Amino acid sequence: MQSLYIIKIGGNVIDNSESLHKFLEDFTALKGYKILVHGGGKVATQLSETLGIEAKLVDGRRITDIETLRVVTMVYGGLINKNIVAQLQRYGSNAIGLTGADGNLIKAKKRPIKTIDYGFVGDLDDNSVNANGISSLLEAGFTPVFSALTHDGDGQLLNTNADTIASALAVAMSGLYSTTLIYCFEKKGVLQDIDDEDSLIRDINPERYDELKAAGIIHSGMLPKLDNAFSAIDFGVQAVIIGHANDLNKLNDEASFGTRLSK
């Protein structure tokens, strides 16, 4: 089975031009099939402020009303996505920029209203990703670059968490390829001490994860990321790696890139 990397980059990489260019050069140098997933960084918030649209957040989660959806569509699906695609072409990667609506590749359901109405936010399920459609792009020599936008099949675009998109892609594609999911962010990986970059934990399996949670070493913002990662592994993803975007060129040397999560 051929290998596939699905790599997600966060806003901190997108917001730093130098880091982004280095990352995209390293991404292009990776051999084999690959897919890039990106969020939006600070640009959407800055544009909202310029347009006088107030950002609404509940527990750190953005409420996507119709005005906000217009902004994130312009920024995620337009400005950021096409800039990344242009840079990848420059480095020799034949990238194609996508939302979930393109080719009906990722279909979501609007999040139901419970205690909070999140607006035009999409949730994914087991049947959301069109794996065969994405595979046909890979086999034709394209490198898909997904922004954090999906659609509901009835003409409505939906703002969707980029981590969730990356995880859903990895699970769906693992039926066709030997898939590794990589989250690139601003730390070297999962750290024993959040303030000490040299306290990297190299490998975590489910038992070790339970120990680290019980000891309070892994908590708050890292928990949903790792819960998602182990869930993806349970559904067939070969491994999940969390590491610093600047270190992607060390990926082939497994001993020196990030934290590897596996069974």
* Sequence ranges of the binding site: 40-41, 62, 159
Tell me the sheet residues that pair with 9: 38, 184
CB atoms near residue 102 (< 10 Å): 18
Q: How far apart are CA 225 and CA 261, in angstroms?
A: 11
**Biggest CA-to-CA distance, the chain:** 51
* Residue 261 parent element (H or E): strand 259-261
Angle at the Cα of 241 from the Cα atoms of 150 and 195, rounded to 5 degrees: 105
Given 3-state DSSP classes, what are the helix, strand and coil percentages for the chain, each rounded to the nearest 5? 40, 25, 35
**Residues placed in the known binding site for substrate:** 40-41, 62, 159
Q: How far apart are CA 146 and CA 165, in angstroms?
A: 9
Q: How far apart are CA 86 and CA 257, in angstroms?
A: 27
Per DSSP, the three-state class of 175 is coil
Q: Are 208 and 190 in contact (CB under 8 A)?
A: no
